[in-house]
Chains A and B, each alone.
Chain A
Amino acid sequence: MANSASSDLLNAHQMAEFVSRGYVALPAVVPDALNQLVHQDLRTYQGPSGQFWFQTEHIQSVFNLPRVKGAIESLVGKDPVYDHSAIHVAGPGHRRAQTYHQDSIIDTRPLAFDVQAFYFCHDTPYEMGPTLVLPGSHLRKANTASISRYKNVLGQVRLACDRGTVVFMHHGIWHCAQPNATDTLRYMFKLRLRPSVPQRGLFNTAEVDDPEVKKTLYQAYQPWQGNEARLDHMNRAKLWRYVVGDDTVDVSFEGAFTRMGL
């Protein structure tokens, strides 16, 4: 597969956002004509959820769009490994929310990560119950539903978005599906990809030293992190070193990496 143009890769600001919050969105990146084709495919598809990716005509076109491919290349390399995909549906008036969880199983890779692309082919306003995520939770270890006792957490965000939006999430982010208070069926297509290469320096690194990028990383404290917030800071500083591909970069709390010789 050819390399993406540097302008289609995530830039340092977007990558800092991903490292800090655990997700980055490409708002309305998919043209409307393609959104409508996928939406129609979803409405008529009768097969297994996990086969929609393989058995319908238009969904792979979404992930071949240059900016979508560029984001994928930035996160997991240009030839990622398909993990799984699924159609998520919430019917009109569906009242029960999903409980908070991390997907899959505890990931023992120290820094490497899978990415989960959430594609919303139709407008998904707040009341339609788009996915609820907890920014900054992606580096906290949990065992699938071991976080399901929490019902509300300060700083949680529903991913309300315009049609054609793709949100790329770190596999570890705490999230759950939400009730749909509208009279319209809600769809979300999820694609999980694994890296095939070390995820070092895959994005457009031109602005990694921009003060605004460092500010994003330094100031990414979330209201729910409390006394552990400095530890969360250390973990995103470790992830930043990994994705930048430079183990001398130090955006840790009070320069603790340098102080401790890490």
Chain B
Amino acid sequence: MPHQRQQLLVLCLAAPDLESSTVAWSLYDGARPVDDLQPQTGDDKTPPYASVLRAMQDGWRVIQVPSLPTYIPGHEHETTHLPYEYILERMVTVDGE
């Protein structure tokens, strides 16, 4: 019997522009069987999409848009996580019991 499963694609971009380049990416695949290995760190050299816009054009839905960084006086140059991180989803159909 077919079931719907969610796939989450995390794309980190170079800038807030949704057409800017993908610099980091992850796929969390809810359609894979529980015992299968999920995508791992270091297993890919090329982003699946060049930008969030390109992913949208292939059917992915954006479900989270990052807030823009704020700059605290005295700490303007400090850097931390990748700030322009988008979460996208796609529902896929899998066969199952």
Contacts and interface: CB of A to CB of B under 8 A. Distances in A.
Interface residues of B, number: 33
16 contacts: A100-B41, A132-B41, A132-B42, A140-B79, A141-B79, A150-B10, A150-B12, A151-B40, A151-B41, A152-B41, A152-B44, A154-B22, A178-B42, A228-B79, A231-B78, A235-B78
A152 B20 contact: no
Nearest to B48: A152
A234 interface: yes
A202 B30 CA distance: 51
A156 interface: yes
Contact of A176 (B10, B15, B42, B47): B42
Chain B interface, >50% SS class: loop
Contacts of B23: 153-154, 223-226
Residue with the greatest number of chain B CB neighbours at <10 A, chosen from A99, A152, A225, A235: A152
Contacts of A219: none
Interface in A105-159: 132, 139-142, 146-147, 149-154, 156, 158
A182 B27 CA distance: 25
B82 to A, nearest CB: 7
Contact of B40 (A142, A179, A228): A179
Interface in B5-43: 10, 12-16, 20-27, 37, 39-43
Contacts of B44: 151-152
B37 to A, nearest CB: 6
A245 to B, nearest CB: 21
A150 B79 contact: no
B72 to A, nearest CB: 13
B41 A226 contact: no
A98 B81 contact: no
Interface of B: 10, 12-16, 20-27, 37, 39-45, 47, 76-85
A71 B43 CA distance: 32
A232 interface: yes
A62 B77 CA distance: 39
A231 B82 contact: no
Nearest to B24: A153
